[in-house]
Amino acid sequence: MPRSWKWDAQVARPVEWSTSLYDGLLDLTPGRQPHLFGDLNLSRRRFVTVDDSVWKLYQKDISGLLNRYHIEWNDPPCLLPGGEDAKTRDGANRIYDEMDAFGVPRFGEPPIAIGGGVLHDVFGLVAGEYRRGVSWDFIGTTLVSAIDAMFALKCGVSAGWKNRVGLYHPARFSMTDARFFRTLEPHHIRDGFAEIVKIAVAGDSTLFRILEQHGPRVVAERFRSADDDSEEILSRSISWMMRELKRNPFEGETARASYLGHNISPGLEPTVTHGHAVALDIAWTSMIAWRRGLIGRYVRDRILYLIRSLGLDVWHPAMADTDRLAAHLSDTARHRGGHQRIPTPSRLGRVTYLDDVTTDELRRAVEDQHLWEAGDLRAYGSKEGSRR
């Protein structure tokens, strides 16, 4: 007679992470901010990886910061190229090799990554896998990393499809400084603002109004003025994303407002940059919302005009390949447990979730985007429909 025995176990593992916004991060001293890199009494050794373009711009400042804290680091640091092309297993393996040669232990010497969202994702994967997980710190130098990747739990690399291989392993401490943004190329600023538009449309109508009034100026100035409006844009964006992540850190709930702009956008990359793809995706869902009567023309056009005012596109020739977009939407549904869960504007600062967008509806929305971009379909200020 067959017999069996069974034992069950359930454990909870706390996950803690902290995000800070500084003004003058690279000028800090141990006297002003003694715990910037945590407790250095255990060990001052730190393995450092830097985006190579960031190193070219800030080599002296980064070295000065680490040396003021008496960090014993790998000088020169491990360098990784920026951009989606570097988001590969080969890039991760390069970091593994140099980290192992430096002799990073499992505890007590959290490595430091300094760069944008791509470096965050690749390095986070490495830190999560190396010795089955080491703590790490991150300094975000791009706008995208500051309001999205910097404090995200997700890390990974692309393998055939974008972000196909990854895990959840947030940086212990992450920090940024708007002064970094002053040296970014304009298209990188616009990429970051696409993510801020996502936040405004999905969850913060006050932020939306601030963007309408001040967004184009802040984009043009690249945060140089450091005024109350630019500071509020950053602080509201970071605060909203932190609330979203704390509520649903491991995406157990697949209806996520932060998925706005991340439905068909992977099918547009790398033809367009990530932020531009997000903006196009937001425009696409806005057209679907309008056609379904979820929003009126007035709200639809406010969203689309805001996107354009920030130097982003409402339509792009890459969208002509609707079969590719449909394939990526199908893959999105597979990733979300078999449901599309498409966040769609229902009013400014709020979304509803759709699970039944057809290929024909996808194509119609893309066509509407093209018509709107060409000057048709626009009715800014029209009283047709709701002003939600």
Burial of 278 (0-12, 13-18, 19+ CB in 10 A): buried
- Same domain assignment for residues 321 and 191: yes
* Domain count along the chain: 2
> Is residue 386 over pLDDT 70?
no
- Same domain assignment for residues 193 and 156: no
- Same domain assignment for residues 154 and 256: no
Q: Which domain holds residue 137?
A: 18-181
Note whether residue 11 is domain-resident.
no
So what's the pLDDT on residue 291? 97
Domain edge (last residue) among 120, 146, 181 = 181
- Same domain assignment for residues 226 and 166: no
- 8 A C-beta contact, residue 244 and residue 202: no
pLDDT digits (tens, 9 = 90+) for 327-381: 999 999 998 999 999 999 999 999 999 999 999 999 999 999 999 999 887 765 4
- Same domain assignment for residues 111 and 191: no
Least confident interval from 31-45, 190-204, 295-309, 352-366: 31-45
Give me the CATH number covering residue 166: 3.40.50.1970
Rg (C-alpha) for the chain, rounded Å, is 22
Can you spell out the DSSP letters for 241-270?
HHHHHHHSTT--S---GGGTT-SSGGGGTT
Q: Which residues contact 199 (CB under 8 A, 6 or more apart)?
A: 147, 207, 236, 237, 240, 241, 258
Share of the chain above pLDDT 70, in %: 97
Query: SS3 for 112?
Result: strand
Tokens, residue 361? 């509806």
Closest CA relative to residue 17, chosen from 124, 142, 144, 165: 124
- Same domain assignment for residues 249 and 362: yes
Could you tell me whether strands 78-80 and 48-51 are parallel, antiparallel, or unpaired per DSSP bridges? parallel
Note whether residue 101 is domain-resident.
yes
Q: What is the 3-state secondary structure (H, E, C) of 183-201?
A: HCCHHHHHHHHHHHHHHHH
Q: What is the C-alpha separation between 83 and 121, in angstroms, rounded?
A: 11
- Same domain assignment for residues 94 and 190: no
- Same domain assignment for residues 238 and 163: no
- Same domain assignment for residues 176 and 200: no
> Is residue 387 over pLDDT 80?
no
pTM of the predicted structure, to 2 decimals: 0.91
Q: What is the C-alpha separation between 183 and 181, in angstroms, rounded?
A: 5
- Same domain assignment for residues 137 and 26: yes
- Same domain assignment for residues 365 and 288: yes
Note whether residue 10 is domain-resident.
no
Torsion of CA 26, 27, 29, 35, to 10 degrees: -40
Note whether residue 383 is domain-resident.
no
Number of H helices, E strands in the chain: 11, 12
Burial of 305 (0-12, 13-18, 19+ CB in 10 A): middle
Q: Which residues are catalytic?
A: 154
Note whether residue 385 is domain-resident.
no
Q: What is the C-alpha separation between 292 and 260, in angstroms, rounded?
A: 17
> What's at 67, amino acid-wise?
N
Note whether residue 354 is domain-resident.
yes
pLDDT digits (tens, 9 = 90+) for 56-107: 999 999 999 999 999 999 999 999 998 888 899 999 999 999 999 999 999 9
- Same domain assignment for residues 327 and 197: yes
Note whether residue 388 is domain-resident.
no
Domain edge (last residue) among 141, 166, 181 = 181
Domain edge (last residue) among 181, 200, 226 = 181
Q: Which residues pair with 73 in a beta bridge?
A: 46
Mean pLDDT rounded to a whole number for the chain:
93
Average pLDDT estimate for 42-49? 97
Note whether residue 133 is domain-resident.
yes
Give me the CATH number covering residue 222: 1.20.1090.10
